[in-house]
A and B are shown apart, each in its own frame.
Chain A
Amino acid sequence: GENVEQHPSTLSVQEGDSAVIKCTYSDSASNYFPWYKQELGKRPQLIIDIRSNVGEKKDQRIAVTLNKTAKHFSLHITETQPEDSAVYFCAAKETSYDKVIFGPGTSLSVIP
């Protein structure tokens, strides 16, 4: 089955700097890659997603890139703000049914 790895596990950046989180997946047939943000004590919320027929997607300060050949995808947050502080999870959807496998998470701290 699918396996998703995520790095780094923790990340601290100064407010205004960029943050990059990287993930790898094992199933070359996976076709959907969402990113979720989870604030302390709250439910995971989708912030951006990308399908396998697209190499890059951007939404304001957030962008995701996908390299299908290398089975890598990354989240980029520019001009970070303190409210970006949270745990971020990448995930990959298996082609069988709609099972989504999550990475272990990255705890992002944005220092004012």
Chain B
Amino acid sequence: DTGVSQDPRHKITKRGQNVTFRCDPISEHNRLYWYRQTLGQGPEFLTYFQNEAQLEKSRLLSDRFSAERPKGSFSTLEIQRTEQGDSAMYLCASSARTGSYEQYFGPGTRLTVT
């Protein structure tokens, strides 16, 4: 499968624990995005990478959230000291180098904080 992949697909954690999600974009795509989606809502932008550079981070993202893309390939999203309000689907998407704005989404990681 050459599409965007995410791991894990589901994560249940207790409040206060840290969690880390991984996203592997389509191999030739240099742009990578993280979104959060709650039930009945559209994907909400969290952050964006071009290669290894994090170019933008949503003001809605608290300091408990951090993302990395160390070698310009896969990316990780870490949430520290999780809260029940963090429960959501975390989606990753990637897009090609130039000329195309189309974003390809991964299957998402569903986080449940108990």
Q: Quick one: which of A45, A93, A97 contacts B56, CB cutoff 8 A? A: A97
Q: Which residue of B lies closest to A44 (CB)?
A: B105
Q: A34-B101, A43-B107, A46-B102 are in contact. Are A101 and B45 (CB under 8 A)?
A: yes
Known A-B contacts A89-B43, A105-B41, A105-B42; A98 and B101 likewise in contact (beta carbons under 8 Å): yes
Q: Is B25 an interface residue (CB 8 A)?
A: no
**Bound CA span A36–B91, Å:** 14
Number of residues from B at the complex interface, CB < 8 A: 23
Interface centre among B33, B42, B106 (most CB of A within 10 A): B42
A47-72 contacts to B (CB < 8 Å): 49
Q: Which residues of B contact A96 (CB under 8 A)?
A: 56
Contact (A43, B106) CB under 8 Å given A97-B56, A98-B95, A103-B42: yes
B33 contacts which chain A residues (CB < 8 A)?
98, 100
- Contact between B42 and A100 (Cβ–Cβ < 8 Å)? no
Contacts of A102 in B (CB 8 A): 35, 42-45
Residues of B within 8 A of A97 (CB): 48, 50, 55-56
Beyond A44-B91, A98-B50, 20 extra complex contacts between A and B, CB < 8 Å: A32-B101, A34-B101, A34-B102, A43-B106, A43-B108, A44-B43, A45-B105, A46-B102, A46-B104, A49-B102, A89-B42, A89-B43, A91-B42, A97-B50, A97-B56, A100-B45, A102-B44, A102-B45, A105-B40, A105-B42
**In the complex, which residues of chain B have a beta carbon less than 8 angstroms from the beta carbon of A43?**
91, 105-108
B30-47 Cβ-contact flags toward A at 8 Å (1 or 0)? 010101000011111100
Q: Which residues of the partner chain B approach A105 to less than 8 Å between Cβ atoms?
A: 40-42
Distance in Å: Cβ of A62 to nearest Cβ of chain B: 15
Nearest opposing residue in chain A for B106, CB measure: A43
User: Cβ of B27 < 8 Å from any Cβ of A?
Assistant: no
